[in-house]
Amino acid sequence: MTAHIQKVENQVIDRNEKFISTAENLKPEFVKDTVTPTNIVKIEENSAKIHGWEPKVIESADNLSSYDYGKGDEVILDFGTHLVGYLSMNIIPVGSPPDAPLHLKVTFGEMPVEMAVPFSEYNGWISSSWLQEETLHIDVMPGILELPRRYSFRYVKIEVLDTSKKYRVAFENLQCETVTSADVNRVTEIHQFDPVLDQIDKVSIKTLQDCMQEVFEDGPKRDRRLWLGDLRLQALANYETFQTNDLVKRCLYLFAGVPDNKGRISANLFIAPSLIPDDTYLFDYSLLFTTTLFDYYEATKDTNTLAELWPLAYRQVELALERLDDKGIVIDDESWWSFIDWHEDLNKQAPSQAILIYTIRRTIELAKVMNSDKQLFLEEQLQRIVKATITHLWDNDKGFFVSGAKHQVSWASQIWMAHAEVLEPDANRKLILHLLSEKPDIGLTTPYMYHYLVEALILVGEKKKAVAQLKAYWGEMIKDGADTFWELYDPDNKDFSPYGSYLINSYCHAWSCTPTYLIRKYQL
Ligand code: RAM
């Protein structure tokens, strides 16, 4: 197993203040709303449900304030759908004047399991601090409790750890002020005659909406930051829905504002307290900066932005070319050098090679718009690398592209090679059909890669199969209770998490929002 962590010693950042201030000026307006819970629920064990838990309605949440609670009592509220925002409530003492502080625990969950399994059971490799719970002391009652942190949730559990023997508490006006930078009024209605696709479209849009904050976040529960692989897909979904194109522009400028001293673009950014690039650089994600700029230009024809960001976009390709060996194949290694997907045993070489080719094709198009003298060089490189790929990574007997020293055959390699259009259209179609019939063991684990599978099916002219796949995957997630689409989903292993526990998975995740793009763009 490879480690999924990078720590760069002596990272030197080449800050471009002009780009950073362009990004600052594009800070979005927020759309706010006040939402109240629908029901008081209990969470019951049911092995037929995802993670083994399901919510059962006890009564309407309108009755909440008629109850009072003492030491050891708890109440779980269901808001009926996924929300991102700030929780507040009035706390009313009942009985004698409060002669001791109230000790309260508040737990937020996107999924029923987060209400049922104590977070103390989590022992995965990423920080437990992502699990959304607070313990607080309240000295003054009656009063309003306004939690300062933004949460991502559908369920809230309130546990009274202690009051005193003389008083109990009641909760009134419990509500969430939701926040997003997406304006739903900008989304056009589509007349989808297929109810399953219609529902998938709606859940995709809600997913994107909840991830749209000051930047396109990957997940409002976790990691709450801007990742390039996620941004690329969010931006595509955005062009077909909210059309908040300035937010894409802002994110591109943020990345461009903090490359390292070699010109490498970081895989993700922190934006507070000020803009900081993470010390994680991924081969595929850096190239997706260039691809995202290409898509942005296609959607907006914003030549000024293209002209300003072109040198860095080109630089990502140049840097990727430096990783080729003498044969023209990307050098593989054991570290977390390229992301591709979360499959534990996935070899990254062939899919990374394909992403390089895919990106060069788009960079050539940008070079043409820019009238750049790099165009010829890029065309020569493309020819050389495509040839090398066929010679060294194509296995004619297997009918598949192979990856790494052990010649691994994975779904991800074939899918990305199809997008890279290394084979002629007919052979490309055969490759994808062969993939569907052979079903190699190294499968896909994220909606991120399923997106590229569905789009590859469309690319090779298999629209019907694309729709079937879309329904089988995202439709199944809805059947499993998704209000917003999840970060991880393996229909054959619904407990899957690369982090050591599904408690920490994100259940509203940017890279899962693309069905709306696929449905609308390709008129599925
Ligand atoms: C995870 C996040 C993010 C993704 C990275 C590579 O930590 O889910 O969305 O882009 O992996």
Q: Is the CB of 227 under 6 A from ligand 1?
A: yes
Question: What are the angstrom distances between the C-alpha of 489 and each of 100, 197, 242, 401, 492?
Answer: 46, 18, 26, 25, 9
Q: Ligand 1 centroid to 65 CA: how many Å?
A: 40
CB atoms within 10 A of CB 145: 18
Nearest one of 462, 516, 523, 519 to 237, comparing CA atoms: 516
Q: Ligand 1 centroid to 499 CA: how many Å?
A: 11
Per-residue pLDDT, 10:
86
As a whole number of Å, the CA-based R_g of the chain is 25
Q: Is the CB of 230 under 6 A from ligand 1?
A: yes
Q: Is the CB of 283 under 6 A from ligand 1?
A: no
Q: Ligand 1 centroid to 342 CA: how many Å?
A: 9
The residue nearest atom 7 of ligand 1, judged by CA position, is: 223
Asked if residues 112 and 55 have their Cβ atoms less than 8 Å apart, the reply is yes
Q: Ligand 1 centroid to 266 CA: how many Å?
A: 13
Beta-strand ranges (E) seen in 5-162 are 31-35, 39-45, 53-60, 74-95, 102-109, 133-138, 143-146, 151-162
Probe residue for ligand 1, chosen from 222, 230, 280, 348 as the CB with the greatest number of ligand atoms within 8 Å? 230
Q: Ligand 1 centroid to 226 CA: how many Å?
A: 9
Q: Which residue has the tokens 């259209």?
A: 425
Q: Is the CB of 223 under 6 A from ligand 1?
A: yes
First CA to last CA distance, the chain: 38
The residue nearest atom 6 of ligand 1, judged by CA position, is: 339
Per-residue pLDDT, 3:
67
Q: Is the CB of 498 under 6 A from ligand 1?
A: no
Q: Which atom of ligand 1 is nearest to the CA of 229?
A: 10
The residue nearest atom 1 of ligand 1, judged by CA position, is: 223
Residue 167 is encoded by which pair of tokens?
Answer: 């008083």
Probe residue for ligand 1, chosen from 211, 283, 487 as the CB with the greatest number of ligand atoms within 8 Å? 487
Asked if residues 357 and 379 have their Cβ atoms less than 8 Å apart, the reply is no
Q: Ligand 1 centroid to 509 CA: how many Å?
A: 9
Q: Which atom of ligand 1 is nearest to the CA of 126?
A: 7
- Could you give the 3-state DSSP secondary structure of residue 249? helix
Q: For residue 405, count CB atoms less than 10 angstroms from its CB and return exposed for 0-12, middle for 13-18, buried for 19 or more.
A: exposed
Q: Ligand 1 centroid to 5 CA: how many Å?
A: 12
Q: Ligand 1 centroid to 498 CA: how many Å?
A: 11
Per-residue pLDDT, 1:
43
- pTM, two decimal places: 0.97
Probe residue for ligand 1, chosen from 216, 223, 486, 502 as the CB with the greatest number of ligand atoms within 8 Å? 223
Q: Is the CB of 218 under 6 A from ligand 1?
A: yes
Q: Is the CB of 285 under 6 A from ligand 1?
A: no
Q: Ligand 1 centroid to 16 CA: how many Å?
A: 25
Q: Which atom of ligand 1 is nearest to the CA of 219?
A: 9
Domains in the chain (CATH in brackets) are: 31-180 (2.60.120.260)
| Vertex 198: Cα angle to 193 and 201 (nearest 5) | 140
Q: Which atom of ligand 1 is nearest to the CA of 227?
A: 10
| Segment-wise mean pLDDT, segments of 10 residues, the chain, 524 residues | 77 96 98 98 98 98 98 98 98 98 98 98 96 98 98 98 98 98 95 89 98 98 98 98 98 98 98 97 98 98 98 98 98 95 96 98 98 98 98 98 98 98 98 98 97 98 98 98 97 93 97 98 95
Q: Ligand 1 centroid to 218 CA: how many Å?
A: 7
Q: Which atom of ligand 1 is nearest to the CA of 218?
A: 9
Q: Which atom of ligand 1 is nearest to the CA of 230?
A: 10
Q: Which sign does the torsion angle of CA 327, 328, 330, 331 carry?
A: positive
